[in-house]
Amino acid sequence: MHLPRSVRCSVLLLSGALLLSACGGSGSSGDGAGESAGAQAVTLDNCGKKMTVKAPPKRAVSLNQGTTEILLSLGLADRIVGTATWTDPVLKGLEKANAKVPRLADNAPSFEKVLDTEPDFVAASFTSTLSKGGVASREEFAKLGVPTYLSPADCEGTKDKGASDGIRTEPLAMDAVYREVGELSRIFGVEERGKKLVTELKDRVAKATSGIDAKDATVLYWFANQESPYMAGCCGAPGIITNALGAKNVFDDTTQEWPQINWETVADRNPGVLVIGDLVRKKQTAETAAKKIAFLESNPATKNMDAVKKKRYVLLSGQAMNPTIRTVEGVEKVAAALREYGLDG
């Protein structure tokens, strides 16, 4: 494959070729090499691996929508040279910034396409993105001198990850997302922006949950797939939403993050409220909320469930059902719906 100049240099240096003068200062980015002069290196323990970023990245690639929206929220659009793997329209307010960032692929891009951007940093939300079967492993990027960052929410308190959603050994908390914002802001040298963003997110959660105690509300979260639907288990991002509101997830007896559950079992649990993923991607069946609702209201196993008969639906973006800054959006929307349905305590 054809490697960009900066990566070719890394490969040659790793192989022992003494080409320091040829590889020093590529000048290919054209974004002002002296801008970060004097910046200190950042070293982190990230998902079981030590990673070091020698200077604030100027050519970052974000391989999942979640990490991309954090970087855009931190005002870093001018330092992102590629993004990929989207389930939803970009977070409101970030449209102009996002329009400046090249979309490498709507789903996972090839390793070669990522390397063609000459990245100096790669971030991802999911272990599956940076593992065998994904874009490439962290080790493959490391061999080329490209540091990688993985969202702590996807690796801490989990097991059996890799290409699957895995199991949660500990309930996820928003603190993992706040930590991600803080670490990325530190890596990029914009720590004050990170602190401001975390404060704003915490304030929104506090406002959304004020005075609510939905202990009598039973909720089900359906992310995608019609034939073998992915429903939320106890302890991922939907667990953050449920616990914040004092409600009960009807599948809180499984620690699998997104188990595939048959419709007869769903009907037996008979949730009072259905939280439905409204996705724009075209990867699974029944991605949009409209298709999900049409199925629920016509399928013999589901059409008589209380939530379906009463049309108690809450539509969320896929990102709100993943551990991202938009999980806060999930708290807000589910809280508003429970209040509307009179299930807020």
Domains of the chain (ranges; CATH) run 40-202 (3.40.50.1980), 212-340 (3.40.50.1980)
Of the listed ranges 1-10, 52-61, 311-320, the least confidently predicted one is: 1-10
Kindly indicate the confidence band of residue 31, based on its pLDDT and cuts at 50, 70 and 90.
very low
Kindly indicate the confidence band of residue 78, based on its pLDDT and cuts at 50, 70 and 90.
very high
Residues sharing a CB contact under 8 Å with residue 164, sequence separation 6 or more, in sequence order? 128
The yes-or-no verdict on residue 18 having pLDDT over 60 is no
Indicate the pTM of the whole model. 0.87
The yes-or-no verdict on residue 336 having pLDDT over 80 is yes
pLDDT (0 to 100) of residue 110: 97
pLDDT (0 to 100) of residue 165: 77
Angle, alpha carbons 277-197-320 (nearest 5°) = 5
The yes-or-no verdict on residue 226 having pLDDT over 80 is yes
Average confidence (pLDDT) over 98-105: 97
Is 101 exposed, middle or buried (CB count within 10 Å of its CB: 0-12, 13-18, 19+)?
Answer: buried
pLDDT digits (tens, 9 = 90+) for 174-192: 999 999 999 999 999 999 9
Residues sharing a CB contact under 8 Å with residue 74, sequence separation 6 or more, in sequence order? 181, 184, 185, 188, 190, 193, 194, 197
pLDDT digits (tens, 9 = 90+) for 305-330: 999 999 999 999 999 999 999 999 99
Cβ–Cβ under 8 Å, residues 250 and 311? no
* Residue 153, both tokens: 């929410």
If DSSP codes are grouped into helix, strand and coil, which group holds residue 143?
A: helix
The helix, strand and coil proportions of the chain, stated in percent and rounded to the nearest 5, come to: 35, 15, 45
The yes-or-no verdict on residue 113 having pLDDT over 80 is yes
If DSSP codes are grouped into helix, strand and coil, which group holds residue 20?
A: helix
**DSSP output for 259-293:** -B--HHHHHHH--SEEEEE-----SSSS-SHHHHH
Cβ–Cβ under 8 Å, residues 172 and 151? no
Of the listed ranges 23-27, 71-75, 93-97, 122-126, the least confidently predicted one is: 23-27
pLDDT digits (tens, 9 = 90+) for 58-74: 999 999 999 999 999 99
pLDDT (0 to 100) of residue 198: 98
pLDDT (0 to 100) of residue 142: 96
The yes-or-no verdict on residue 6 having pLDDT over 60 is no
Angle, alpha carbons 239-240-245 (nearest 5°) = 95
Nearest CA to 339 out of 316, 331, 299 is that of 331
pLDDT (0 to 100) of residue 163: 54
* Residue 231, both tokens: 């429903």
- Please give the share of the chain, as a percent, with pLDDT higher than 90: 82
The yes-or-no verdict on residue 54 having pLDDT over 90 is yes
The yes-or-no verdict on residue 25 having pLDDT over 90 is no
Kindly indicate the confidence band of residue 345, based on its pLDDT and cuts at 50, 70 and 90.
confident
The yes-or-no verdict on residue 79 having pLDDT over 90 is yes
User: How far is 79 from 273, CA to CA, in rounded Å?
Assistant: 41
pLDDT (0 to 100) of residue 161: 67
User: How far is 35 from 288, CA to CA, in rounded Å?
Assistant: 44
Average confidence (pLDDT) over 262-286: 94
Kindly indicate the confidence band of residue 3, based on its pLDDT and cuts at 50, 70 and 90.
very low
Angle, alpha carbons 58-103-165 (nearest 5°) = 95
Angle, alpha carbons 217-223-228 (nearest 5°) = 105
